[in-house]
Each structure stands twice: as structure tokens, then as C-alpha cells.
Chain A
Amino acid sequence: MKTKILLAILAVVMVGLIAVPWIASYFYIFIFTEILILGLFAASFNLVFGYTGMLSFGHAAFFGIGSYAMALVLIHLEWPFLVSLLASMGAAALLALVIGFFCVRLNEVYFAMLTLAFGMMVFAIAYQWRSVTNGSDGLAGFSLGSFGFGLDLTLGNPAVYYHVVLTIVAIASAVLYVICRSSFGMILRAIRQNPERVSFAGLNVRTYRLVAFVIAGAFAGLAGGLIAPFLRVASPELLHWSMSAEPILMAILGGTGYFLGPFAGAAVFVLLETWITSFTESWMLVLGIILALMVIFFRKGLLGTILDWWMEVKK
């Protein structure tokens, strides 16, 4: 019964999301495009954090390299959009493999510090390697040609691009969900709860962590590939560690215990940001206070707290 109600709510949300371009202004089409892309970014982060129990402070490296890969491919090779997205995922997965190789062997504290440091290393490269990355200005001036599959879509139109993003994010989330629900996902959750037990059971914890890290990196790269045409620029800010903080905040805000938590968190985050920045510049201050309160009192996040309460009350 309950799952049916939840599925019905989810279906209504989905229909609402599909209908956004017909019922809302351009402003909200942009807002919802951003929510979807950042939601996917946060969900990929949560595979590492919520499921595997590794707090990464360098997830923006994969998001950023995805957007740089997209920009570089569009500028120099002019591949179709879908193929460029695969390039974004591939570049991010490769980077995640290298960074993950160093990081996953270490525990929580070291892992957090190391991912932060490696993330900033990627930022430093993007900042200093001017001939390829155009330094602090970032890469701009690329345009989307064809979509792929011979489809002729006008990707310059925000409403069309919104639907493309919605489709891709929906498919990617479904794949991520299947991964989380598979036996592989179960092992990841077991690793979060007790890595010693898992290794006593004969499984190589380090390999599982690395695979989770690479998968999360690839999906973050996909999100980055989607954001570059949306922002029309791939800049070092996308690699900076304050960008790594965003999926952390979204995951905590929405709830790390549920698959859709990071998406809910991304929605709250972006809407709150839009609302608060309309009357004060100190959005980060408000964000810090919210995060502190969430960590101390509502560790399960908004969605987690609501769902747990609902499961408890309506038995």
C-alpha cells in the first residue's frame, strides 16, 4: 500500500517535471534544468557517501572535468551531443580511477582530506594550463551541433534542452538506482556499516570502494557534460572545492539514506538559493547555518525525516 502511494507521488512529480516547459516561464525552465543536473551530481556523490560511507570533498573534480571534456570535444572535434556526453563520462571515470587509486586505501579522515587535495590539484591544472583550458576565463564559444541518432533537435532552445536533460537524467538515475539495489549496492552498504566484516567475508573492500568511486565519478562527469552547454562555459569554478561542497550539502539536506534524497536536496538547495539571493548576498551564511542545524538535529535530511516519520505514523 505504502509503496503504491509513494510510486503514485513519484509519478505525479514526474508528470509535473515533463510539463514544466508548458506551464512555467523561461526563468523556471532554467531553474529546473539546474535542479536536474545538480540532482544527478548529488546522487552520484551519494553513491560514495551515503551508500559506501566515504566522505569525498573532491567530487567537483569529476563534474568539472566532464564539463571541460564536453567543451573541448565540441570546440575541437564537433562530435554529436550524445557522443560528447560519453566522452565526458569516460574522462571523469578515468580521472576517478587515478584519484581513487590513491584515496580508497585510506580511511575516512585521510580520504576526505585527500579527495579535497586532489580536487584542488585538478583545479590548479585547469587554472595554470592556459593553452588547453584557457585559464581562469574557462572555455566558452562552443555550440551544440547535432544530437546524435540522426535526430534534429534545436538544443539552443531552453525548453528542448530541458527535455533532453530530463530524459538523460531520468535514464542515468534509473541506472544508478539499479546499481544501488543490486548485490553490488548491498555490498557497498555493508562496507559502510562494517568494512572489517566484509573483508572477513572474503571480499576485497578496496576494490569495491574503487569501483563505486569510479562509477560515481562517471555519473558526476555526465552531470558536468550536461551543465557545460547549459552555462555555455566550462570554467575552473566548476572544479573548485566550493563546488565539491554543493553535492555534500544537497545530500545532507535531502537525506543520504534514500536514493531520491539528493534530488530532493538539490531542489531545496537551488530554490532556496534563488529565493535567498533575491534579498541578500550572504547565501553562504544561511547555508552554513542550515547545514549546522541539519547535522546536529536532522541528520537524516528532509526527505529522510519525512519518510521515516510517515512510515512510523501510518503503520
Chain B
Amino acid sequence: MSGIVSALLNSLDIGLLLFIIAVGLNIVFGVLNIINFAHGALYMLGAYLAFTLINIVGMPFWAALLLAPLGVVILAVLIDRFLLRFIYSRDIADSLLLTFALLLIINESVRMIWGSGIQVVQPPQLLAGSMEILGSSVPTYSLFVIVMGLLLLAGLWYLFNRTRIGRIMRAAALDRDMAEVLCINTRLVVTGVFAFGAWLAAVGGVVAAPMRALDPGMGDKIIIESFIVVVIGGLGSFPGALLGAIVLGLIHGFGGRYLPEVNMLLPFLGMALVLLFKPHGIMGKGANA
């Protein structure tokens, strides 16, 4: 029983962290119609910036949680203004290729700046211990990740459904020309959405930093996980990102515990099964996928 509880909580913390990252990928795809291959690299950059702010500058974790993603947002605005603007009107393959080039550049830069070794970030004092839940001991940090994921989930839901900015984003996603006719500055929306996606990736990176060791390959791992999440859930779908992330979290949480010899294979098997029966993901719409 206690094994199941801790596997379940473990699945939830993996799943909600993946949700934070994959939903950024999905929003960028939904509004801009590009797949940001460098999304995982931005996540990694968030984690490494947090490492520098916490371990080298000596800031508290909470300050890093605010500041590191802002640094990544600035970079994202530059990427959008100086690189992506050339390819928004082109075929989607070009955006894949260009963001892939970005991934190579960011990966190698991280290796040059921080080295290829493993770096560790300690969780803040408040979240360092563990708690007793239904007879099993759970790291407090896992609970923090779950709370963080749920807060962002609620915030995003509110943003998209209850605010003007959310409505503008959805309008731009549906028909950019029409939105422009209605006096919406779509250039600004495009930059804003790309930066927002990068912010989500970087927040995921900072949140992940104390629970995972940092190495220059961490971005590549997370981008593949994110792809699996959006394939399972449905590309461009907001609830799909949540569903896909939870499913993948469960696969990792229970697979790692009960089927360790094939745990690397399970996510792909899950994905293949979804594709066989629902080629556009569980929540995806067939028309635009």
C-alpha cells in the first residue's frame, strides 16, 4: 500500500513537471504553428541560470525562481526578433530546422560556460526534508512540485478563459489576419507567446534543478519526453498536455518501480498504442493535426 502511494506521488510530481514544460511547447505550437525544438534547451538554460544564481551568487531559491526564467525570456525575445521572424511565413519544416540549430547552439554554449560535468542544486531549507503521508515518507520537494504544477495549471486556465490577453492569444491562434483587422498587434502577440512558452520551459527548469542533477544533456532528454506528452495528449491541446503529462508520469512512476528492466521502453510503447487507436492524440482534433 505504501509502495503504491509513493509511486503515485512520484508519478504526479514527474507528470506535473512535464506538464509545465510541455504546455509551453503546446501553446507555442497552437498560436505560432511552430514546433520549438529548442524548448528543452531553454528548460536547461533555466536550470543552469538558477544554479549560478543560487550556488555562485548566493541568492535564495525563491529569488532564482523569479529571476532565472526572466533571463531566458530576454533570450527568447531576441531569438524571436532576430531569427524566427524570417521563417514564420515559411513551411513548418523550416521552423523545426531553425530551432534545431538553436538547440545545437544553446547545448554547446551551456557546455562551454558550465562544463560537461554534473552540477547539483540544493532545495531550499523549507522544502528540504520529507513528510509522512499515509504511512509512507515523501520528500517535501515532491509536494512543492505538485503544488507548483497545480498553481500553474489554474493560472493558465484563468489566463486563457477569463482574461483579455488569453482571448487575444486564442484569436491569434484561430485566424491571425482576422485578429490583425481587429486592431490586435499580432507581431507583439507572436513575440509575447514565444517568450511565454520559453518562460514556462525555464520555470520547469528551475523547479527541476533541485530534484535532478544538471548536465548538458538534460535538455535533450526533456524535449523527447515533451514530444511524447504532446503526442499522447494531442498537439496544440491544453487539456491534452495535462493528460499526456499525467499518463507519462504514471508510466515513469510505476514503470520505474515495478518493471525496471524495460523502463526506458515503456513511454514509447504507450505512445505507439495511443497512435494506433487515436493517431492525433487522446484530446487532439483530427482536422488540424
Question: Interface residues of B toward A: which range?
Answer: 35 or more
**Closest CB-CB distance, A56 to chain B, in whole Å?**
11
Q: Please determine whether B102 and A288 come into contact, CB atoms closer than 8 angstroms.
A: yes
Q: Please determine whether A282 and B231 come into contact, CB atoms closer than 8 angstroms.
A: no
Out of B96, B111, B220, B261, name the residue touching A112 (CB < 8 Å): B96
Q: Please determine whether A117 and B104 come into contact, CB atoms closer than 8 angstroms.
A: no
Given contacts A55-B96, A124-B264, A292-B83, contact A106 B103 (CB under 8 A): no
Q: Point out the residues of chain A lying under 8 angstroms from B289, CB to CB.
A: 106-107, 110
Q: Please determine whether A295 and B101 come into contact, CB atoms closer than 8 angstroms.
A: yes
Q: Please determine whether B101 and A109 come into contact, CB atoms closer than 8 angstroms.
A: no
Given contacts A113-B227, A289-B101, A295-B87, contact A124 B93 (CB under 8 A): no
Out of B108, B224, B262, B275, name the residue touching A282 (CB < 8 Å): B108
Given contacts A102-B275, A252-B97, contact A110 B83 (CB under 8 A): no
Q: Please determine whether A288 and B224 come into contact, CB atoms closer than 8 angstroms.
A: no
- Chain B residue with the shortest CB-CB distance to A128: B264
**Does B235 count as interface, using CB distance less than 8 angstroms?**
yes
Q: Point out the residues of chain A lying under 8 angstroms from B29, CB to CB.
A: 109
Residues of B contacting A: mostly: helix
Q: Give A291 to B93 CA distance when docked, in angstroms.
A: 13
> Chain A 240-257 against B: per-residue CB contact (8 Å), 1 yes, 0 no?
010001001000100000
Q: Please determine whether A291 and B261 come into contact, CB atoms closer than 8 angstroms.
A: no
**Does A170 count as interface, using CB distance less than 8 angstroms?**
no
**Does A162 count as interface, using CB distance less than 8 angstroms?**
no
**Does B268 count as interface, using CB distance less than 8 angstroms?**
yes
* CB proximity to B under 8 Å, residues A252-287: 252, 282, 284-285, 287
Residues of A contacting B: mostly: helix
Given contacts A110-B289, A245-B100, A289-B101, contact A102 B276 (CB under 8 A): yes
Q: Please determine whether B275 and A296 come into contact, CB atoms closer than 8 angstroms.
A: no
Q: Please determine whether B97 and A291 come into contact, CB atoms closer than 8 angstroms.
A: yes
* CB proximity to B under 8 Å, residues A106-124: 106-110, 112-114, 116-118, 120-121, 124
Most B C-beta atoms less than 10 A away, residue of A108, A117, A125: A117
**Does A208 count as interface, using CB distance less than 8 angstroms?**
no
Q: Please determine whether A128 and B265 come into contact, CB atoms closer than 8 angstroms.
A: yes
Q: Point out the residues of chain B lying under 8 angstroms from A109, CB to CB.
A: 29, 35, 92, 96, 235
Q: Please determine whether A117 and B224 come into contact, CB atoms closer than 8 angstroms.
A: yes
- Chain B residue with the shortest CB-CB distance to A49: B93
Across the A-B interface, give the 3 residue pairs with the lowest CB-CB distance, nearest first: A288-B104, A288-B105, A124-B264
